[in-house]
Chain A
Amino acid sequence: MNKRRMLNEKNLDAFVQDLINAGTRVISPIRRKEQGRETATYAAVQNPEEILLAGPQPALPLKDVVFPPTETLFNWKQVKSSIRIKENPEGFKKTVVIGARPCDAAAMEIVDRVMGWDYRDELWFGRRQATTVLAVACSQCDDACFCTAVGLSPTNARGADCFLTPGEGGFEVETLTSKGEELLESHHGRFTQAKDPAKTQPAELENKVRANLSLQPEKIQQWLERHFDDPLWKQLALRCHGCGACAFICPTCHCFDIVDEPEGIDCGRRRRNWDACQPALFTMHGSGHNPRKDQTARFRQRIMHKFNIYPARFGEILCTGCGRCVRVCAAGMDLVSILGEISYMAEEAGSTS
């Protein structure tokens, strides 16, 4: 493993075309024009020329590749007095992701922890198994990015099977898993031997991200553990509209709802749909009682889960610093300044105790 390979632009297109021809679903950042600006979005590639590896971060995360917004758990049909069940009717499509951002690739590995915890989620792992991730080093960042504050970086290969680093005329490809090695080996004609030793990435981008926010996560966790009733929560939640946008565009948010939908008099489907902790309905009991009675309680939950509950249980922060929640929020809720504020208070608390 860890053979150093090169993939030039022409071979990249051919590699993608080979995969598509073989019936593999290829997901990549695709060029899109929105209101005159060039943006990117992860989508199934139809034509290799649409791929935009060096562009801006895709507006939506990669998670729907392994965790679709809606999926069928099983179909059911009544036959006389019994029910016939057909599980996972959609199956798992062989998928290769080319150009996952480090924040999106790492997210999948972080969420693996909960998906394989007290119950092994076969649908999640089935798709994970069927998906090979080729991540690419970031070439752009903005004032919402903060991956370096949560232990990642624009060149971090966590969660990836292969990692692409832009170089002269193409990408240097580092292989990290046997799944990645298998894929590259079966398309070996498209790759060449890397000549020069791996170039160290310019630290410029990483420094830019670092300037947005720096944290000591364990101090944040300690502060959260002791400040469930801090006045900060109410102050922050005033602005929050209680929609699910931040959770739905978050690469690590993974909550879901399960619904039964009839599709005729004697048949139907059980589905799993994305859900989010910010709308009131999420914790509403059948009795009408809601243990998270207001937005203060609901917004606190979002921060607690990511920076205290998940770290306590799995030793991982449930956030990869992609910054999408900052960019998407219609109310200007800004996780970077919120974490900065908590970090400041944690320092204050530490110095006076």
Chain B
Amino acid sequence: MQELRDLAKKLFQEKRVDAILGYEIDRRGGVRPAFATQIEDCDRLVFDHRCVHNLASYVSPRRTHVADLGRLGIVVKACDARAIAGLIRENQIKREDIVLIGMRCGGVVRDPAISEPLDPANVAQRCIGCEQREPTLYDHLVGAPKPAPAGERRRNARLSEIESMSPEERLALWKELLGRCTRCHACRQVCPMCFCERCVADKTRPAWIETSPHMRGNFAWHLTRALHLAGRCVDCGECERACPAQIPLGLLNRKAANIVAARYGYTVTDDPAKPAPIGAYRLDDEQEFIA
């Protein structure tokens, strides 16, 4: 913790940042995003297994009030760095405009209000089987190496269960899950990769996606979002965590990621130079579906 605070202060002293996005303790004893705008704020910064939030969501250019803070330093775990790389890859931010404070990470809990130590029962699903203990995209790397988190449930276990269902059973399941959606769009707002200036769900002339939270509207919205995130979703789990209806949206994104990996040999990475299938064209891309 002290290492992080000292580094943050140094960045302010050397005038390399105007603000640092990190984490701080909140009133309830959990952790929340912190905006350190002066050197005195740096002593509030913390980093531990409760630092669930993907702070890359705050640096997308549509957050004008964050951009107004000036040059940003951002505390990133490996999964968050994948989102930063995505924003650079897709020309939303410039690498040289941000200072990345990479954190060595041993996994996080599923809810930042959980105060108990990390254990197999409270670890975030995405951390089980995550092989990246630290980002490769960073300016500074902080913390001691940490072991991988233990967990009982395999990352793709639920997905495999659903894949083994009959189409009728699957449809019934998704009708129940997506039927809960009231279209608050928290999934989109917290997503670091949902940075469109104008989302297709907000377009009204014509209304490509009905805004009503009925089956038609909800299926259209969630499937469109999953397709738009195929090969882009960094699996940070923020959409699931933000969903007030507790819809396991990550299942859709993970399914799409598996298809992209199988067909294009691409897994989302924190190397911004590696092109993603959705934004790249190759002569040998599969195209049998066009015929």
Can you report 20 A-B residue pairs in the complex whose CB atoms are below 8 A from each other? A34-B246, A60-B244, A69-B183, A144-B28, A238-B58, A238-B69, A242-B189, A245-B243, A248-B184, A257-B211, A261-B210, A273-B213, A274-B184, A294-B65, A296-B65, A328-B244, A330-B186, A331-B53, A332-B32, A332-B112
- Is A281 an interface residue, CB under 8 A from the partner? yes
- Nearest-Cβ distance from residue A160 to partner chain B, whole angstroms: 25
Residues of A within 8 A of B188 (CB): 243
CA distance A331 to B189 in the complex (A): 11
- Is B249 an interface residue, CB under 8 A from the partner? no
- Nearest-Cβ distance from residue B189 to partner chain A, whole angstroms: 4
Residues of B within 8 A of A330 (CB): 53, 186, 190, 238, 241-242
**A→B interface (CB under 8 Å):** 34-36, 59-60, 69-70, 143-144, 234-235, 237-239, 241-245, 247-249, 257, 259, 261, 271, 273-274, 276, 279, 281, 294-296, 326, 328, 330-332, 334, 336-337
Q: Contact at B35–A241, with CB atoms within 8 Å?
A: no
Interface string of B205-221 (1 = CB under 8 A from A): 00100111110010000
Residues of B within 8 A of A234 (CB): 65
**B window 207-252: CB within 8 A of A:** 207, 210-214, 217, 238, 241-246
Q: Contact at B183–A331, with CB atoms within 8 Å?
A: no
- Nearest-Cβ distance from residue A72 to partner chain B, whole angstroms: 9
Residues of B within 8 A of A247 (CB): 184
CA distance A235 to B41 in the complex (A): 13
Residues of B within 8 A of A69 (CB): 182-183, 213
Additional A-B contact list (6), CB under 8 Å, known A241-B186, A331-B33: A70-B213, A70-B217, A245-B242, A248-B182, A248-B184, A296-B65
Q: Contact at A273–B212, with CB atoms within 8 Å?
A: yes
Residues of A within 8 A of B211 (CB): 257, 259, 273
Residues of B within 8 A of A279 (CB): 185, 189
Q: Contact at B53–A273, with CB atoms within 8 Å?
A: no
- Nearest-Cβ distance from residue A9 to partner chain B, whole angstroms: 29
Q: Contact at B65–A243, with CB atoms within 8 Å?
A: no
- Is B66 an interface residue, CB under 8 A from the partner? yes
CA distance A32 to B209 in the complex (A): 31
Residues of A within 8 A of B185 (CB): 243-244, 279
Q: Contact at A243–B212, with CB atoms within 8 Å?
A: no
Q: Known contacts being A70-B213, A237-B65, A331-B32, is A244 close to B184, with CB within 8 Å?
A: yes
- Is B30 an interface residue, CB under 8 A from the partner? yes
- Is B77 an interface residue, CB under 8 A from the partner? no
User: In the complex, what residue of chain B is closest to A257 when comparing beta carbons?
Assistant: B211
| Residue of B33, B66, B110 with highest tally of chain A CB at under 10 A | B33
- Nearest-Cβ distance from residue B41 to partner chain A, whole angstroms: 11
Q: Known contacts being A234-B65, A328-B244, A331-B53, is A271 close to B238, with CB within 8 Å?
A: no
CA distance A345 to B188 in the complex (A): 34
Q: Known contacts being A69-B213, A70-B214, is A59 close to B244, with CB within 8 Å?
A: yes
- Nearest-Cβ distance from residue B113 to partner chain A, whole angstroms: 8
Q: Contact at B184–A245, with CB atoms within 8 Å?
A: yes
Residues of B within 8 A of A294 (CB): 64-65
CA distance A326 to B32 in the complex (A): 12
The 5 closest A-B pairs by CB, nearest first: A332-B32, A243-B189, A330-B242, A243-B186, A244-B184
Residues of A within 8 A of B112 (CB): 332
Q: Contact at B65–A35, with CB atoms within 8 Å?
A: no
Residues of A within 8 A of B57 (CB): 241
CA distance A242 to B121 in the complex (A): 31
- Is B27 an interface residue, CB under 8 A from the partner? yes
CA distance A237 to B202 in the complex (A): 22
Q: Known contacts being A274-B183, A334-B26, is A238 close to B202, with CB within 8 Å?
A: no
User: In the complex, what residue of chain A is closest to B198 when comparing beta carbons?
Assistant: A281
Residues of B within 8 A of A245 (CB): 184, 186, 242-244
**B window 179-195: CB within 8 A of A:** 182-186, 188-190
Our pick among B30, B35, B183, B186 for the contact of A239 (Cβ within 8 Å) is B35
CA distance A247 to B207 in the complex (A): 23
User: In the complex, what residue of chain B is closest to A340 when comparing beta carbons?
Assistant: B27
Q: Contact at B33–A239, with CB atoms within 8 Å?
A: yes
User: In the complex, what residue of chain B is closest to A279 when comparing beta carbons?
Assistant: B185
CA distance A144 to B65 in the complex (A): 27
| Residue of B32, B207, B212, B241 with highest tally of chain A CB at under 10 A | B212
- Nearest-Cβ distance from residue A36 to partner chain B, whole angstroms: 7
CA distance A261 to B207 in the complex (A): 9
Residues of A within 8 A of B27 (CB): 143, 334, 336-337
Residues of B within 8 A of A243 (CB): 184-186, 188-190, 242
Interface string of B120-162 (1 = CB under 8 A from A): 0100000000000000000000000000000000000000000
- Nearest-Cβ distance from residue A282 to partner chain B, whole angstroms: 10
CA distance A8 to B218 in the complex (A): 42
Q: Contact at B213–A274, with CB atoms within 8 Å?
A: yes
- Nearest-Cβ distance from residue A290 to partner chain B, whole angstroms: 11
Residues of B within 8 A of A257 (CB): 211
Q: Contact at A261–B212, with CB atoms within 8 Å?
A: yes
CA distance A299 to B164 in the complex (A): 45
Residues of A within 8 A of B190 (CB): 241, 243, 330-331
CA distance A36 to B213 in the complex (A): 28
Q: Contact at A274–B182, with CB atoms within 8 Å?
A: yes
User: In the complex, what residue of chain A is closest to B111 when comparing beta carbons?
Assistant: A35
**B window 37-83: CB within 8 A of A:** 53, 57-58, 63-66, 69
User: In the complex, what residue of chain A is closest to B189 when comparing beta carbons?
Assistant: A243
